[in-house]
Chain A
């Protein structure tokens, strides 16, 4: 809502409060003022001039040579505007004047003839182009005849006015009108409100009933409809002050009839609509739901196809207006209009909102209906418009209004009391303080000791409860005056849950391992939502969860894996020459087994990582090392080791993964994720070098996690280390051999590590050697050499039998 400071002064005495001070006060009391803009920058030496003569420039077809009387002198001015003419009163920038944009006016010669100043257009005077009436968009501005020659134009054209831009939230529909803002400002400044004149002299000899009747079929959507008839109007520009107010409020003046409906719309917050009575082609207004596929051509020239969700005004036969949204082209007020049919009605907010959404026609009118208008101001606005039409369009107002009226207008009653208010606010207000607040708000009330029965005016439809009144009292009292207190305890101890702690720990570990945290979007595209889904997720997913109305193809589905987004991040960074990257993200994926979602999807917490490029840089004391499978596996193993959860890995083949370098991650034979290298084809598609990923289901990991275990005795007895190297066929997995060693060696073998892998010289083709180091230790005794030797031999025999492996000597 744009509020003109000068216009506001008509209703409230603003004293010496400047526009900026006023803005700050309004903001602090509840309606945020987003800015204060002046209609125009300061200009000097621009006055009203009288064009005494106007002839063609002898040497230029498009220029006019004018003699302009500016009071104390006559100036010869050359003017290029097509609409300049003798007898006009115009805005003249005298030599030495400075126009907005620091445009200095000097004496010049144009085609050999001296020009001493400039006749100005509104644009040149700094008014925004979009508010300038279209008929003078390319020309100079012409003042009404009563303008005084020599008078500065600033005030005449309201150029010095300040416009406050109010950000009116959904609850304060009342502030979408000058009167509403006036009540607000009056409460802030503790001033009375001067209401506009509604005393119209009607043509008693005629009754509106002879012209029009009103019938409402959709009562729930249109509880009040009032129609007025104004005869013999003369279409012309509206008075300058009205045009000035409209332009300041961001509305382009058109003609007096349209301007008056807009003016009253802004003044009362009540949208009005003017039909050309003679084009209405009926003496009956019927308001009803539109029929499906019925059409109307709206004022903007568009033909619109309607449904029974829309409310229409008809002439009994066909729609003439889309109720509360836009009028029809056929009944539009034009320069030829002489008789006006004026509508002042109350339309259902939801219906208007639906129609706006359906047609995309949001206007000053629809916005107000959508947020709710004051039921007590509907008819008054109509009467006010009648008065203005009489004053400024020479209209004769026919007596009475044709009405349908089932509108509820009673005021809400809210009980408040001083103690309750102080208890909720933490204040120590007195009963007198509260009474004075209510007076400032101009709310009627009855007082019984510290009890108030407040009658809330209908303009404040947002106030229905004690808490609503609490806010009114608090904001007028001033939020600044509330004390600072701290609440007591609740008996509950704050903190984070075990799961939240685990999440933090996992992040800390992964970060400690060198990975940087990422946050990516949950919504993804059709291709990525199908990629790199962990097999245990794919097994329980029917279809990805899709948005009903996505904004773009890029953000259409809820992700089933974090990895595709992470890979996009790697690509993004690579494209910016950032090639050595280790990233992880912890976040939810969204799993549903339903084709059509009826319940919330399962939100599963996962931990995914993606690494590419150099893992350790070459330096004087170390060789450069690229990320490889075992770097990623090491991080994952490290995490499980940290959480003390036994984990195993098994070779697997997955779509989009390197067929020979991919493993499932398993806890007790249950898949909880995977890791490995991306398939080179996908790497190429994403413009990535060798890239390794991991993806873990943290829900399963957390389920397997046990808080700190009970104490186990630290071994007191000495350990014995034994190394052993096996020669194995190439296709035997070193991990499988390790498992056999652990099984056979138990319980004496405490730990088995692989410490060497050898392939090449001195070995047969197709063979490899893997070396294991075994640690023997018994919790309760010192092991004897014979015991160790016996176990050692058993292991060799078992490995030999199972893998046809033999000991490398």
Chain B
């Protein structure tokens, strides 16, 4: 019987090895292991064996069953794998055809610039504040040390609505509003981006509407060197670590001392070219130490508190950073312009 089993195993393995379809394997399984299968048939004859022989042959029979089952499983897996591979091969597509397009929108370049600046100052502990575009004469001028008839009001000829209301000419009124809100008690750092308006005829470098970002820091013992350090950080982050800054004295009614900040020209690396008018420097922003009268009107005691403020034009920064040559591009919204910068 032992020989019979071994022959059966050899025969079964042989036919499994030569089978090429899963269906034939099924048949083989039934033929050998099924109820009426050959192995089952052989085992039926076990009853005739002696007590001693039965466990020995039983063990052999189990081995044979395991061997056939394993062979069947392995072969099945192999055939299934081959079948899958064949199927996948048939599913091959042309990967060079274009994909389904996704509609891509994006931010306006000025929004990107403003957000970049916002995030940069947020990192230095500044909060972002906003204020109304239609301002009172008080907040736009008087609270900033620009009393009525001050000659510097000419510098920012304004769009008045009534004698007391106008379109803000700068974002500086938000300084005055913030100081008032903080009651002259709380130290703070803030920046305020927003739209501003001046009586300028629109041309390549002027726009009757433009954006500004103003920054203000008020605390005890604020030093001018802090302003210089802060602006240096800003300039390097915005224009590159290899940029140098310089401060020049300037005049704004709401700061004293006042500064104008230049960065070394990126085009010529400070050697002098047409972009920097051969000076090696490009004007970026204005600022200074908050004028004591402005602090006082904001409720802060200028004997105790000091502060610095600065203001810049995102249009100008965008123009310098990306080489935009006409401010009107920002407001014409030509799709071909916007698309160039929507990832900026």
A236 to B309, CA, bound (A): 55
Q: Are B105 and A511 in contact (CB under 8 A)?
A: yes
Q: Are B335 and A485 in contact (CB under 8 A)?
A: no
Q: Are A548 and B228 in contact (CB under 8 A)?
A: no
Q: Are B111 and A517 in contact (CB under 8 A)?
A: yes
Q: Which residue of B103, B208, B248 contacts A30 across the interface (Cβ within 8 Å)?
A: B248
Shortest Cβ gap from A151 to chain B (Å): 34
Interface centre among A485, A518, A545 (most CB of B within 10 A): A485
- A572 with B333: in contact, given A171-B251, A490-B125 (CB under 8 Å)? yes
- A516 with B249: in contact, given A426-B223, A485-B229, A600-B132 (CB under 8 Å)? no
Q: Which residues 508-525 of A sit at the B interface, judged by CB distance below 8 A?
A: 510-523
Q: Is B291 an interface residue (CB 8 A)?
A: yes
Chain B residues with CB below 8 A from A30, complex form = 248-250
Shortest Cβ gap from A455 to chain B (Å): 20
- A494 with B101: in contact, given A424-B306, A482-B247, A603-B132 (CB under 8 Å)? no
Shortest Cβ gap from B175 to chain A (Å): 15
Q: Which residue of B124, B160, B230 contacts A494 across the interface (Cβ within 8 Å)?
A: B124
Q: Which residue of B lies closest to A425 (CB)?
A: B224
A504 to B116, CA, bound (A): 13
Q: Which residue of A lies closest to B148 (CB)?
A: A350
Chain A residues with CB below 8 A from B260, complex form = 32
Q: Which residue of A486, A496, A510 contacts B118 across the interface (Cβ within 8 Å)?
A: A496
Q: Is A546 an interface residue (CB 8 A)?
A: yes
Q: Are B221 and A423 in contact (CB under 8 A)?
A: yes
Q: Is A569 an interface residue (CB 8 A)?
A: yes
Q: What per-residue 1/0 map shows which CB atoms of B136-154 lie under 8 Å from chain A?
A: 1000000000000101101
Count residues on chain B whose CB falls below 8 Å from chain A CBs. 91
- A558 with B134: in contact, given A465-B292, A517-B111 (CB under 8 Å)? yes
- A601 with B225: in contact, given A471-B258, A523-B197, A620-B98 (CB under 8 Å)? no
Q: Which residues 110-141 of B sit at the A interface, judged by CB distance below 8 A?
A: 110-111, 115, 118, 121-128, 130, 132-136
Q: Which residue of A lies closest to B225 (CB)?
A: A426
Chain A residues with CB below 8 A from B257, complex form = 467, 470-471, 474-475
Q: Is A551 an interface residue (CB 8 A)?
A: yes
Shortest Cβ gap from A471 to chain B (Å): 3
Chain B residues with CB below 8 A from A370, complex form = 151
Q: Which residue of A lies closest to B201 (CB)?
A: A551
Q: Are B248 and A27 in contact (CB under 8 A)?
A: yes
A500 to B110, CA, bound (A): 16
Q: Is A489 an interface residue (CB 8 A)?
A: yes
Q: Are B133 and A522 in contact (CB under 8 A)?
A: yes
Q: Are A511 and B106 in contact (CB under 8 A)?
A: yes
A371 to B149, CA, bound (A): 11
Q: Which of B54-62, B65-73, B77-85, B187-195 contacts A (4 or more CB under 8 A)?
A: B187-195
Shortest Cβ gap from B199 to chain A (Å): 6
B interface SS class: mixed
Q: Which residues 196-230 of B sit at the A interface, judged by CB distance below 8 A?
A: 197, 199, 201, 208-209, 217, 219, 221-226, 228-230
A-B contact count (CB 8 A): 262
Q: Which residue of B lies closest to A517 (CB)?
A: B108
Q: Are B224 and A494 in contact (CB under 8 A)?
A: no
- A513 with B105: in contact, given A29-B249, A169-B251, A171-B251 (CB under 8 Å)? yes
- A516 with B208: in contact, given A479-B259, A495-B122, A600-B135 (CB under 8 Å)? no
Q: Which residue of B195, B250, B256, B336 contacts A467 across the interface (Cβ within 8 Å)?
A: B256
Q: Is B155 an interface residue (CB 8 A)?
A: yes
Q: Are A514 and B104 in contact (CB under 8 A)?
A: yes
Shortest Cβ gap from B53 to chain A (Å): 57
Q: Are A484 and B229 in contact (CB under 8 A)?
A: yes
A583 to B334, CA, bound (A): 11
Q: Are B333 and A518 in contact (CB under 8 A)?
A: yes
Q: Is A668 an interface residue (CB 8 A)?
A: no
Q: Is B97 an interface residue (CB 8 A)?
A: yes
Q: Which residues 603-654 of A sit at the B interface, judged by CB distance below 8 A?
A: 603, 615-617, 619-622
- A468 with B256: in contact, given A494-B124, A513-B105, A547-B159 (CB under 8 Å)? yes
Q: Are A353 and B103 in contact (CB under 8 A)?
A: no
Chain B residues with CB below 8 A from A479, complex form = 228, 246-249, 259
Chain A residues with CB below 8 A from B259, complex form = 479
A487 to B307, CA, bound (A): 10
Q: Are A619 and B98 in contact (CB under 8 A)?
A: yes
A520 to B208, CA, bound (A): 11
A521 to B333, CA, bound (A): 11
Interface centre among A32, A427, A465, A494 (most CB of B within 10 A): A494
A519 to B100, CA, bound (A): 30
Shortest Cβ gap from B26 to chain A (Å): 35
Shortest Cβ gap from A55 to chain B (Å): 51
Q: Is B233 an interface residue (CB 8 A)?
A: yes
A578 to B333, CA, bound (A): 11
- A424 with B103: in contact, given A32-B248, A558-B134 (CB under 8 Å)? no
Q: Are B292 and A170 in contact (CB under 8 A)?
A: no
Chain B residues with CB below 8 A from A519, complex form = 108, 110-111, 330-331, 333
**B interface residues (Cβ-Cβ under 8 A, vs A):** 97-98, 100-108, 110-111, 115, 118, 121-128, 130, 132-136, 149, 151-152, 154-155, 159-162, 165, 167, 186-189, 195, 197, 199, 201, 208-209, 217, 219, 221-226, 228-230, 232-233, 246-251, 253, 256-260, 277, 279, 289, 291-292, 306, 330-336, 338-339, 342
**A interface residues (Cβ-Cβ under 8 A, vs B):** 24, 27-30, 32, 35, 169-172, 349-350, 353, 370-371, 423-427, 465-468, 470-471, 474-475, 479-480, 482-497, 500, 504, 507, 510-523, 545-551, 555, 558, 569, 572-573, 576, 578, 581-584, 587-588, 590, 596-598, 600-601, 603, 615-617, 619-622
The 10 closest A-B pairs by CB, nearest first: A426-B225, A514-B103, A30-B249, A471-B257, A426-B223, A511-B105, A169-B251, A479-B247, A475-B249, A467-B256
Q: Can you give 11 A-B contacts (C-beta < 8 A)?
A: A349-B151, A425-B223, A487-B222, A492-B188, A495-B128, A504-B115, A514-B103, A523-B167, A547-B160, A551-B208, A582-B103
